Every structure is written in structure tokens, then in C-alpha cells.
Amino acid sequence: MEIRRAKTNQWQETAAIARMLWPSHEREELEQEFRVLLQNPDAAVFLVYQGDVLAGFAQCGLRWDYVEGSSSSPVGYLEGIFVLPSYRGQGLAKALLAECEKWSRQKGGSEMGSDCALENRESWHFHLHSGFLEAGRIICFIKDLER
């Protein structure tokens, strides 16, 4: 296993594996997002390789606004983490999270936040087993003001 921080020219491969986590997003949309994100000093993407295979990634950033359950600012935030199914159970996600935590501490964060969809039990278990505490549950709403 080797973990590397994604370089600015790795937006395409980063977007490709991120699409496995966020399949409802268009490839072009994710490519554009990562093209910008990989240049942001307040964000980082870590890629984990098993041999020559890109087996997973983690995206983290700093949040300066309030993060549910936090008592400090900035807060490191795990925006997304994904490991290919055939590589799960080998500690790759744990290692990716450790890189995000290290990066967050280096950037001045003393807490790490994250979130997952209510129905994503696998992610919920990962977070709890990784030392996160559940800070709350929310239901989001939207109202069309043009109607």
C-alpha cells in the first residue's frame, strides 16, 4: 500500500475513482470540480495504491463555518472516502483517514468532522469504528421559490 497526495495534474484519475463514490455526478462535472479542488490550499485528496492499482481515495478540507458537534475552527472535514470493494478490509480506508487527520492537524485543525447519508450503514459503521462520535441527524429540505 502506498498513499500519495493527488497532484494538480491528476484530476482525471481522481474524478474517475470519485465517480464510484458519487455515481449520480457526471464525469465532466467531477473532472471540473477536481481540476479546481486540487489547486485549493485548504483541500487535499489522497490516493491509495496497491501496486499499480488506484484502490481508493479520500477527500478532505478545512471548514471555517460551524460544523455540527464541533467546538473549534477551522475543522478538518472528511468530504468523501472510498475504497474499491475488492480492496476493502485491508486497512486502506483507515490509512487514508489517518492522512486526512494528519493534514488537518498541520493546517491548524484540532477536530475532524464528516457526514454520511442516513441510509449508508457501511459509512456509519466506518465512522464509528474510526473514532467519530455521532453529533446529530438532520433532514434537509428545499423549496422552489419560482413556483
Which residues does residue 57 pair with via DSSP β-bridges, in sequence order? Answer: 47, 82
Q: Which three cell numbers stand for residue 114?
A: 464528516
Whether residue 41 is preceded by a cis peptide bond, meaning omega within 30 degrees of 0, is: no
Give helix 11-21 / helix 27-37 axis angle, nearest 10°. 120
pLDDT band at 7 (very low <50, low <70, confident <90, very high): very high
Q: List the domain boundaries for the chain.
A: 2-129
Where b means 16+ CB within 10 Å and e means fewer, 119-137 reads eeeebeebbeebebeeeee
Within 8 A by CB and 6+ apart from 31, the residues are 11, 12, 15
- How many CA atoms lie less than 13 Å away from 22 in the CB half-sphere? 19
Predicted local distance difference test score (pLDDT) of residue 124: 95
pLDDT band at 147 (very low <50, low <70, confident <90, very high): confident
Q: 38-97: per-residue pLDDT in tens?
A: 999 999 999 999 999 999 999 999 999 999 999 999 999 999 999 999 999 999 999 999
Predicted local distance difference test score (pLDDT) of residue 143: 87
For 12-23, what is the mean pLDDT? 98
pLDDT band at 35 (very low <50, low <70, confident <90, very high): very high
Predicted local distance difference test score (pLDDT) of residue 57: 99
Q: Which three cell numbers stand for residue 30?
A: 467531477
Predicted local distance difference test score (pLDDT) of residue 139: 83
For 17-36, what is the mean pLDDT? 97
Within 8 A by CB and 6+ apart from 115, the residues are 68
Which residues does residue 81 pair with via DSSP β-bridges, in sequence order? Answer: 58
Q: 88-145: per-residue pLDDT in tens?
A: 999 999 999 999 999 999 999 999 999 999 999 999 999 999 999 999 988 888 888 9
Question: Do the bridges between strand 53-63 and strand 2-5 make them parallel or antiparallel, or are there none, so unpaired?
Answer: unpaired
In CATH, the number for domain 2-129 is 3.40.630.30
